[in-house]
């Protein structure tokens, strides 16, 4: 009996072509500036087209003091200062997924800098799940309208003269996206540094086998592709934070999913590790804000905004 033939992955073909074209024209490679928030171990990025000064902001952070219930804009203001100092024009505010470890600052940044707020189209699945958890009322739309654009898998877009494609890479969450922009690949929480491994899969809608498939898709990209991570927690023995690597390094050295690791082996490792992990400290405030596109709940009659904490429900 013949083995079934897998259908061609047109989105992946597009991504490979974009990376290869950028590698052939080094002067056109995107410029990437990273901003690391050690409080949440999150990396935000400003990606710029060097020929047009057009840029995108990726995975921004709104500072949140959980003990005081207070937000601040220190991290976002650093992004604003950089964009203005460099004379950049923001055209996209990109989210790789609805983060469970920090609040997004996208609406604050939009008010100062502009740019269309975008995420993957499967955010509607996250909104449905967590809308129910937080008992969001009828005024909470679960169709993604809080975002300016919902990317489909393989959808092409641009940042100035830079070609880009959105790739659906679920497993950590159902809505995870990776953005291939020139030779730069923003993978969200699918991968960490090679010495740290991969993202957890035990959130609602997460699945280790699905994550394995998503990672294999990314590892099929050209070795020279620059990989930019959303988080770093410093692997044991490493003294400094790091958030940039390559596809080749991930394929060769990733401690969870390097070349030769099969799906069954990865799923067993990932699920065993997930059982040892505590819930993220900011899960409950983060998701209920980020499923709204980073917007805080509306003030109540006394003028105060409130976040909900469901008891014994997670």
For residue 258, give both structure tokens.
């390097």
Q: Which of 26-30, 56-60, 120-124, 166-170 has the weakest average pLDDT?
A: 26-30
**Mean pLDDT (whole number) for 166-172:** 98
> In the predicted model, is pLDDT for residue 6 greater than 80?
no
**Mean pLDDT (whole number) for 194-207:** 96
> In the predicted model, is pLDDT for residue 47 greater than 60?
yes
Q: How many residues does the chain have?
A: 314
**Mean pLDDT (whole number) for 222-247:** 97
Q: Return the DSSP state at 28.
A: G
Output the pLDDT for position 101.
Answer: 94
Better-scored residue on pLDDT, 137 or 156: 156
SS3 97: coil
Q: 301 lies in a domain?
A: no
CB 212 within 8 A of CB 198: no
Domain that holds residue 232: 10-278
Output the pLDDT for position 27.
Answer: 84
Q: 49 lies in a domain?
A: yes
Q: 308 lies in a domain?
A: no
SS3 157: strand
Helical pair 283-290 and 123-133, crossing angle rounded to 10 deg? 120
Q: 241 lies in a domain?
A: yes
> In the predicted model, is pLDDT for residue 150 greater than 60?
yes
Kindly give the residue spans of alpha helices, DSSP state H, lying in the chain. Answer: 10-24, 74-85, 106-113, 123-133, 208-219, 247-253, 263-274, 283-290
Give the CATH number of the domain where residue 249 resides: 3.60.15.10
Output the pLDDT for position 184.
Answer: 98
Q: 237 lies in a domain?
A: yes
> In the predicted model, is pLDDT for residue 137 greater than 90?
no
Q: 305 lies in a domain?
A: no
**Confidence grade of residue 42 (pLDDT, cut at 50, 70, 90):** very high
For residues 120 and 11, give the distance between their C-alpha atoms in angstroms, rounded to a whole number.
Answer: 14
For residues 192 and 273, give the distance between their C-alpha atoms in angstroms, rounded to a whole number.
Answer: 15
pTM equals 0.95
Give how many domains the chain has, as a whole number: 1
């Amino acid at each position: 009996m013949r083995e079934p033939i897998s259908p061609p992955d047109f989105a992946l073909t597009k991504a490979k072509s974009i990376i290869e074209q950028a590698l052939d024209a080094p002067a056109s490679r995107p410029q990437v500036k990273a901003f690391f928030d050690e409080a949440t171990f999150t990396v935000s990025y400003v990606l710029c087209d060097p020929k047009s000064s057009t840029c995108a902001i990726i995975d921004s952070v709104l500072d949140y003091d959980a003990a005081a219930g207070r937000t601040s804009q220190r991290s976002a203001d650093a992004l604003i200062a950089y964009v203005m100092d460099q004379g950049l024009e923001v055209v996209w505010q990109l989210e790789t997924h609805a983060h469970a470890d920090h609040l997004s600052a996208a609406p604050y940044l939009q008010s100062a800098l502009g740019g269309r707020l975008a995420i993957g189209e499967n955010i509607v699945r996250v909104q449905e799940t967590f809308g129910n958890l937080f008992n969001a009322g009828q005024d909470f739309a679960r169709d993604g309208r809080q975002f300016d654009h919902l990317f489909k898998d393989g959808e092409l877009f641009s940042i100035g003269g830079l070609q880009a494609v959105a790739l659906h890479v679920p497993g950590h969450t159902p809505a995870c996206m990776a953005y291939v922009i020139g030779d730069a690949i923003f993978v969200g929480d699918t991968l960490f540094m090679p010495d740290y491994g991969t993202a957890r899969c035990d959130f609602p809608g997460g699945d280790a086998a699905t994550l394995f498939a998503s990672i294999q898709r990314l590892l099929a990209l050209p070795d020279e592709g620059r990989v930019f991570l959303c988080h770093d927690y410093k692997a044991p023995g490493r003294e400094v934070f790091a958030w940039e690597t390559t596809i080749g390094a991930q394929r060769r050295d990733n401690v969870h999913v390097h070349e030769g690791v099969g799906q069954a082996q990865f799923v067993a490792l990932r699920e065993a590790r997930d059982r040892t992990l505590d819930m993220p400290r900011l899960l409950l405030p983060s998701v209920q804000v980020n499923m709204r596109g980073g917007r805080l709940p509306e003030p109540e009659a006394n003028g105060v905004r409130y976040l909900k904490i469901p008891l014994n429900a997670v």
